[in-house]
A and B are shown apart, each in its own frame.
Chain A
């Protein structure tokens, strides 16, 4: 009896393993076809030369990488800086917001608040970004309000500045910060705060020693979800930043448009991916023991 049972289990496991491999095949194919292969192509193209009218020709060269480090390096640094600032602002706004939402007593209030957070997704991103052009324009509501309040005398130049890019990026990516943090605060056991109070901690210590460390996974997830797309963003800097808010995403986009420079665009993409991957690896190595 016991023998039969264990034998049966073993047979089942073996069958499961085999069919498991088979079942994974479509997923593996998918990954190879749509992820690894394009990546390999991009990687390869980045070492090719640009031919006449934007064609890709031999010989292999490091020219594009040299150019990136000679000419485009400041843009890359700017992109990273803008993405980091975006992430920090999203965190500073998103954490309190997520905290506020997840500590509402009524379930209904929480649901409504979360709904409001994701509501913008219902409209096209491009349309929403254009809306910011209107809002921040010289004759836009923001300037009009400030003028009518007498806070300024002449309209501020808000559009086509780095400030506008930051506003747009924070606006666009804030939900990606709020949602994972909300989830981790939601899971947090608030009796631990009482335990901290009981042991003599005030609000400040209870937060930094107990609440924050235990909601850190949500914070990290949110930061990654905001940082990575921010570095590569191109719609927002294009529409709101003009020539002032140029980011690496815009450079890449330009190289692929019309008779651009595909090898250079590829090299830029590779550099960007390398930076993001490096960041993640460093984080997983040193930051993510938990």
Chain B
């Protein structure tokens, strides 16, 4: 059993609105357990309540109801300056009238560390973020990336139990952001400090985090490893927010383990995996399929193998259908976009449905690409089509 560093129990935050009657529920009944030493990302679109959640953990906002525990201790009545957490603010909030070194020393001086000792430790922290040569400069003389490092050093020098980061790379350009993503993740691993990292960038969360909580409209929709979130999204929002997804609407025909039969239209029924054990036939559902899980082969030309042998489409189809857990449907290419590592196809299936497929360009181009209006077979493992709950 892993140790829990930060726990939120049914936390609600409501802000009063301008019109006295109303209130804005920024964080809606959120419960989370964040383990010691993990890199935990709070991911969601702008305005979904990520910053508010972080500010409640830091102590800048009081929860309207619910409980927050840090290392097992309820912190409702603990002011920010007594909580074992430090924050890297969204726009860094460096003290403009202090030098870089003074900024980093500030937190140590507040602890009563002697000036000499504080200076030494601050210099070490700056060295860690490779900014020791800029210690006498003022924040506004630094680039965005450098300011970000100062903010990081200023928080880390306090050796917090938990470091809170609010979109720390949000203000930087793409290239720098990528570089710093890996650097931050590596730093977290070396230090072993729990990171709670707020971002609206799904790629950033996927790259860096051990676990992700996906939020929308104040609620946590799903918590899991990047892989779990991506492969088995719990809701349509999660599936849509992270990566590209096909959504197909249909009716449940039959529920038998492990797959449900979903009727998309009169001509098209597929098998799909499901989590919801209460699923019953007849209910209207959405099925999600990731574009890269889908494979295509020509319905008109031979299927070529790497060893040089050929197979007719029908033979190939028969072969595939021996596996009962496969979905195989016929379709027609509507659009094709070559994007380097893969090609993105929009294929029409059934009576009036569309499916996006991403096919890797692993072979020669002519072998793996399909042209517009080409008749194709599309197949995928049944477990890659997932029934979503609302």
Contacts and interface: CB of A to CB of B under 8 A. Distances in A.
A290 to B, nearest CB: 7
A7 B106 CA distance: 52
A210 B158 contact: no
Nearest to A213: B97
Interface in A189-224: 189, 191-192, 194-202, 205, 209-210, 213-214
Nearest to B91: A191
A194 B60 CA distance: 7
A202 B89 CA distance: 19
B87 A198 contact: yes
B93 A290 contact: no
Nearest to B105: A199
A197 B93 contact: no
Interface residues of B, number: 23
B154 interface: yes
Nearest to B104: A199
Interface string B165-189: 0000000000000000000000000
Count class of interface residues, chain A: 10 to 19
Contacts of A191: 89, 91, 93
B149 to A, nearest CB: 16
A209 B107 CA distance: 11
Nearest to A202: B81
A195 B95 contact: yes
Contact of A209 (B60, B87, B89, B106): B106
B93 A192 contact: yes
Contacts of A205: 110
B93 A200 contact: no
Interface in B64-117: 79-81, 85-87, 89, 91, 93-97, 106-107, 110-111
A198 B106 contact: no
Contacts of A192: 93, 95
B58 interface: yes
Given A194-B60, A197-B81, A290 B106 contact: no
Contacts of B107: 199-200
Given A199-B107, A200-B107, A200-B158, A194 B93 contact: yes
A202 B109 CA distance: 12
A199 B97 contact: no
A197 B79 CA distance: 8
A189 B106 CA distance: 18
A214 B96 contact: yes
B125 to A, nearest CB: 12
Contact of A198 (B80, B94, B96, B97): B80
Interface string A70-99: 000000000000000000000000000000
B89 A214 contact: no
Nearest to A197: B80
Given A194-B60, A205-B110, A199 B158 contact: yes
Nearest to B94: A195
Given A194-B60, A201-B81, A290 B158 contact: no
Nearest to A209: B106
Given A199-B86, A200-B158, 19 more contacts: A189-B93, A191-B89, A191-B93, A194-B93, A195-B89, A195-B94, A195-B95, A196-B95, A198-B58, A198-B85, A198-B87, A198-B155, A199-B110, A199-B154, A199-B158, A201-B81, A201-B106, A210-B95, A214-B96
19 contacts: A191-B89, A194-B80, A194-B93, A195-B87, A195-B95, A197-B59, A197-B79, A198-B81, A198-B85, A198-B89, A199-B106, A199-B155, A199-B158, A200-B81, A200-B158, A201-B106, A202-B79, A210-B95, A214-B97
